[in-house]
A = this chain, B = another copy of it.
Amino acid sequence: MIKISVIGFGNVGQHLASAFEKNDTVELVQVFSRSGKIADVAFSHKIVDDLNDLKPADVYVISVSDKSVAEVSRELPFSGRLVVHTAGSLGMDVLDPKNSKGVFYPLQTFSKNKSVDFLSVPLCLETENAADLELLEEIAKSVSKNVYRIDSAQRKALHVSAVFASNFANHMYAIGHDICTEHQIPFEILQPLILETANKILALSPRQAQTGPAVRHDQNTIDAHLALLSDANQKNIYQILTHSIQNEREKL
């Protein structure tokens, strides 16, 4: 079994540690949590709060806040082993050179109190040394069916794409929620629409799937919507995204 320790116990670290703990290809050796909190998890006895307590492992997965990755990699009290981080927005080079470097980036949105089917989470891999890539791939394939080789430059672009497709899409839900609340409409009415809009992209490209007054150039409806919106920020976003949809179509 491939021995893995997870360093960091935030949203990503918790989901990763759980996925490793549950499978037979890898052995979850330890989980480092600075606060040392023993959460209510199957592997709570493996949690350590001192980097000096880390035992030998084949791979160390650093899953801490972006700004702490470099520092934690420097603090590791060993060298010559494989150390990877999980950050979409960081290059591989932020890791300290005393260990072999790699990236194990799960492209998913993780929230506390919301479980995730890890098998469907795309894992984007990169390593400094070719041999390490095979090891990472074996690990990745043991927990996910979607494994990709993505270099640092691509990963940064992918991270920006994900901000649009996930963070900003969610913000569109939030504005829809606000408008519903303002007009005493239960938000649940929008839920099937939100799910279907997302599901459509499995069958159609986002451009093929685009519907609504903007893409129809239905100026009457657009004007009525702008007149109804009382919030200046919502109105501004409505106009900019309407123009963006219309200009995009003209490029086709």
**Inter-chain contact A164/B184, CB cutoff 8 Å:** no
* Interface size counted on chain A using CB atoms at 8 A: 95
Asked if A201 is at the interface (CB within 8 A of a chain B CB), the reply is yes
**Inter-chain contact A157/B182, CB cutoff 8 Å:** yes
**Inter-chain contact B228/A236, CB cutoff 8 Å:** no
Choose among A146, A158, A204 the residue with the greatest number of B CB atoms under 10 Å from its CB. Answer: A158
Question: C-beta contact mask, A176-192 vs B, less than 8 Å → 1, else 0?
Answer: 11011011111101111
Across the interface, which residues of B come within 8 angstroms of A224, CB to CB? 89, 156
Within 8 A of B (CB), among A125-150: 146, 148, 150
- Report the nearest B residue to A175, measured CB to CB: B164
Across the interface, which residues of B come within 8 angstroms of A196, CB to CB? 108-109, 116
Across the interface, which residues of B come within 8 angstroms of A212, CB to CB? 163, 166-167
**Inter-chain contact B168/A241, CB cutoff 8 Å:** yes
**Inter-chain contact B124/A163, CB cutoff 8 Å:** no
Within 8 A of B (CB), among A87-140: 89, 107-111, 113-114, 116, 120-122, 124
**Inter-chain contact A213/B163, CB cutoff 8 Å:** yes
**Inter-chain contact B124/A189, CB cutoff 8 Å:** yes
**Inter-chain contact A202/B197, CB cutoff 8 Å:** no
**Inter-chain contact A180/B161, CB cutoff 8 Å:** yes
In the complex, A202 Cα to B244 Cα: how many Å?
29
Instruction: Tell me whether A233 and B247 are in contact in the complex, defined as CB-CB below 8 angstroms, given that A179-B161, A198-B195, A198-B198 are known contacts.
Output: yes
A41-49, A50-58, A214-222: which one contacts chain B? Answer: A214-222
**Inter-chain contact A169/B169, CB cutoff 8 Å:** yes
Instruction: Tell me whether A171 and B114 are in contact in the complex, defined as CB-CB below 8 angstroms, given that A190-B162, A193-B162 are known contacts.
Output: no
Extra inter-chain contacts (15) besides given A124-B189, A157-B183, A171-B241, CB under 8 Å? A89-B224, A111-B200, A146-B192, A157-B179, A157-B180, A161-B176, A162-B176, A165-B173, A165-B176, A169-B172, A170-B209, A172-B172, A174-B207, A195-B198, A195-B202
Binding site for B on A (CB under 8 A): 66-67, 89, 107-111, 113-114, 116, 120-122, 124, 146, 148, 150, 153-154, 156-177, 179-180, 182-187, 189-215, 218, 220-221, 224-225, 228-229, 233-234, 236-238, 240-241, 244-245, 247-248
Closest 8 CB pairs of A and B: A167-B212, A165-B176, A198-B198, A174-B206, A157-B183, A161-B176, A173-B206, A169-B169
